[in-house]
Amino acid sequence: MRLELKKFVPLLVAAAVLAPTFFMHSCANTTQAPTGGPKDTIPPALYWTKPLPGSVNVPTHGTRFEFGFDEYVKVKTATNIFLSPPQQKPPKSKIKGKGVVVWFEEDLEPNTTYTLSFTDAIADNNENNVFPGYDYVFSTGDSIDSLMITGTVLDCATLQPVKNATVMLYKDHSDSAVFKTRPFAATKTDEWGYFALPYLKDTLFRLYAIKDENNDNIYQAESEQIAFIDSLIRPRTVVNDTLKELQKYDMKDTLACRERNSEYTLKMFKEEPTRQFLKNHGRKAERYAFVSFMAKDAWIDSLWIKGYKADRLITQFNLRQDSLEIWINDRRPVPDTLQIYVNYRKTNDSTHVLEPVVEHYPLFIEGALPRKQRNDYNYRKSLKHEDTICVFKLEAAPELVEQEGFTLSFNYPIINENFDSLKFHYLNPKQKDIPGEFSVIPDTLDLRKYKLMPKETLLPGYEYFMKVPHRAFRDINGFYSDSTEVKVMLPSDEKLSTLRVSLESVSGKIIVDLLSEKRDKVLRTYIVSENKEVVFPYLKKGKYSIRVTEDVNNNSMIDTGDLLSRKMPENVNFFKMDDGQEFIDIPESAEVSQTINVAQMMKQ
């Protein structure tokens, strides 16, 4: 009985694909826009295909596929005509009457089931209404493979869907396959990051998704993002014409799109480079230079500048340790060209292991005048005031001052400081001037930055002042600072609200971020390692997201994954309300409290 049914597979597939189009409305005029009446909003309808969907024993050479519509159409996005398994070159297409002809520049593989997908590729001529598309299946063998998988691709940091990601299946299970060969089967994700890969063999696969920037269906680690499932997968679902996962939906139909079953969730990330080398160097000022590396955690054995002892250099790595800043703390005149030597561990191109090398670079300030001209009287006379002082910024944001205090940042490292000369005071609502106290907290990542934290509890209606007197600081250029004073008050807008979040079942270090509704901006951050309440004051009416990241390596940043070591990105999750909403809706003039069970949330 099963063998008999195989004869009818092409007819069943054809009926499944074409039947819905017979019930779609067509436009009265397909060659020019209507002169009156309502605007045409109906997409083109597919009326026929040649060969029929589900055809078998399709020739491997020179076959053309024709798709006829109910009106004149155009190929809007040729790259969205996608063949699986993909070839080295994408499908070719052209318009023929009311149809589209598709062909391939390479021969097809024998005994292979192919799927030709149309997603937002075709639109009508008049109003640009997009054909929702479908998956056209055929085989160069005598049968159609009948299994499928489904899933969703999300951004690892925002958990937002990734549109137009290329999802790929490999029968080759080696780690290098995704770098070197094209997949056994592939498809593109829709606006929901959703994919369905139908007509598969019953075998074990590796599953990947990439953001294929050059459309070659091969992963380029240095420029593209990737996601993967850390185990072999086997398709289980049998394709049939009733599966909602294979239907083409209006992407605005939220209910229908969300009802589709998703078997796998892939979180896409940009891999950290693994090949280490010194990729850039420069000199931006007389006593400042930098070197930057391709990969993080650069291993520098030693660094020196000709003519200067080690104790005359001030150096600072960034958080990722892939960029090193260098300042010369020496009052002698600095040469026009600095000779810098870096002894570090570089990746050997043939062995791919780190080996010690010494590289030498001459550094000069691009566009700078020679020292002789810089000592000229006219040049010195043209210098601006900020060219002859210790430049700094003193800032305080009303909505952040309770958490961050006043921020004091310098352009250059300071070599003499007098924090005791700074004055902190405040005026109460009755204008009584009261002296205050503050603590100085050096920034752990930037030696030029300090946090000045008031010791008093800040109150609404009070005016708070931080004053830096003249000559309180001196930098490595020998320049003294000017005086300044900054005033800040807590926000007084009665429409602002406060969100209090009680964190329970905290195990290990976590990063708690408050994000905007679009999740494109981090508004506040807390680093937490125990159960506690975190407060987000002075929020405008709107929707907010709370992101929690498991900081596995305790570096206070979200770490990405690594494909070859099968390391996933650090676990990120967004808090959901009991009703499934992913946002906390903050009204005006409210104090909102929310409890989050972190352990339970991170298992979702």
CATH of the domain at 505: 2.60.40.1120
Mean pLDDT of 298-317: 96
Mean pLDDT of 92-119: 94
Does residue 484 sit in the same domain as residue 561? no
Does residue 3 sit in the same domain as residue 133? yes
Measured torsion, CA atoms of residues 175, 180, 184, 190, in degrees rounded to the nearest 10: 90
Only one residue has tokens 């340790």, namely 321
CA distance 281 to 340: 10
Does residue 7 sit in the same domain as residue 128? yes
| Least confident stretch, 45-49, 99-103, 511-515, 553-557 | 553-557
pLDDT (0 to 100) of residue 98 = 94
359 within 8 A of 498, measured Cβ to Cβ? no
pLDDT tens profile 66-85: 999 999 999 998 888 999 99
Does residue 94 sit in the same domain as residue 6? yes
Mean pLDDT of the chain: 90
pLDDT band at 429 (very low <50, low <70, confident <90, very high): very high
Does residue 463 sit in the same domain as residue 543? no
* Phi, psi torsion values for 530, nearest 5 degrees: -155, 165
CATH of the domain at 108: 2.60.40.1220
pLDDT band at 520 (very low <50, low <70, confident <90, very high): confident
Does residue 1 sit in the same domain as residue 140? yes
Residue among 122, 151, 154, 125 nearest 136 (CA): 122
Does residue 351 sit in the same domain as residue 401? no
Residue 151: strand, helix, or coil: strand
* Res 433 pLDDT > 90: yes
* Res 318 pLDDT > 90: yes
* Res 228 pLDDT > 70: yes
* Res 271 pLDDT > 70: yes
pLDDT (0 to 100) of residue 17 = 45
Mean pLDDT of 525-551: 95
In this structure, which amino acid lies at residue 57? N
pLDDT (0 to 100) of residue 36 = 54
pLDDT tens profile 471-488: 999 999 999 999 999 999
- Quote the number of domains for the chain: 4
CA distance 584 to 581: 8
237 within 8 A of 150, measured Cβ to Cβ? yes
Examine the fold and report which residue of 488, 517, 532 is the final residue of a domain before the chain moves on. 488
pLDDT band at 368 (very low <50, low <70, confident <90, very high): low
Q: Report yes or no on 557 lying in a domain.
A: yes
CATH of the domain at 420: 2.60.40.3710
* Res 259 pLDDT > 50: yes
* Res 580 pLDDT > 90: no
509 within 8 A of 551, measured Cβ to Cβ? yes
Q: What domain range includes position 555?
A: 497-602
Mean pLDDT of 74-102: 93
Distance of alpha carbon 562 from the chain centroid: 15
Does residue 16 sit in the same domain as residue 132? yes
CA distance 101 to 272: 42
End-to-end Cα, the chain, rounded Å? 44
The pLDDT > 90 percentage for the chain reads 74
Q: Report yes or no on 184 lying in a domain.
A: no
Only one residue has tokens 């609200």, namely 497
Q: Report yes or no on 505 lying in a domain.
A: yes
pLDDT tens profile 135-188: 899 999 999 999 999 999 999 999 999 999 999 999 999 989 999 999 999 999
pLDDT (0 to 100) of residue 59 = 96
Helices and strands: H and E segment counts in the chain: 8, 42
Does residue 480 sit in the same domain as residue 547? no
pLDDT (0 to 100) of residue 3 = 38
pLDDT (0 to 100) of residue 29 = 40
CA distance 549 to 567: 16
Q: Report yes or no on 17 lying in a domain.
A: yes
Q: Report yes or no on 56 lying in a domain.
A: yes
pLDDT tens profile 10-69: 444 444 444 444 333 333 343 444 455 577 788 899 999 999 999 999 999 999 999 999
CATH of the domain at 341: 2.60.40
pLDDT band at 2 (very low <50, low <70, confident <90, very high): very low
Bridge-based pairing state of the strands 532-539 and 522-528: unpaired
Does residue 32 sit in the same domain as residue 127? yes
**Widest pairwise Cα distance in the chain:** 101
Q: Report yes or no on 264 lying in a domain.
A: no
Q: Report yes or no on 257 lying in a domain.
A: no
pLDDT band at 95 (very low <50, low <70, confident <90, very high): very high
- E-strand ranges in 256-322 read 264-270, 278-285, 288-293, 300-305, 313-317
> Encoding tokens for residue 434?
């009261």
Examine the fold and report which residue of 440, 467, 488 is the final residue of a domain before the chain moves on. 488
Does residue 467 sit in the same domain as residue 562? no
Residue among 400, 586, 399 nearest 499 (CA): 586
* Res 565 pLDDT > 50: yes
pLDDT band at 372 (very low <50, low <70, confident <90, very high): low
pLDDT (0 to 100) of residue 11 = 44
The pLDDT > 70 percentage for the chain reads 91
Distance of alpha carbon 346 from the chain centroid: 28
Q: Report yes or no on 196 lying in a domain.
A: no
CA distance 208 to 153: 10
Does residue 349 sit in the same domain as residue 479? no
Examine the fold and report which residue of 325, 348, 373 is the final residue of a domain before the chain moves on. 373
pLDDT band at 249 (very low <50, low <70, confident <90, very high): confident
171 within 8 A of 205, measured Cβ to Cβ? yes
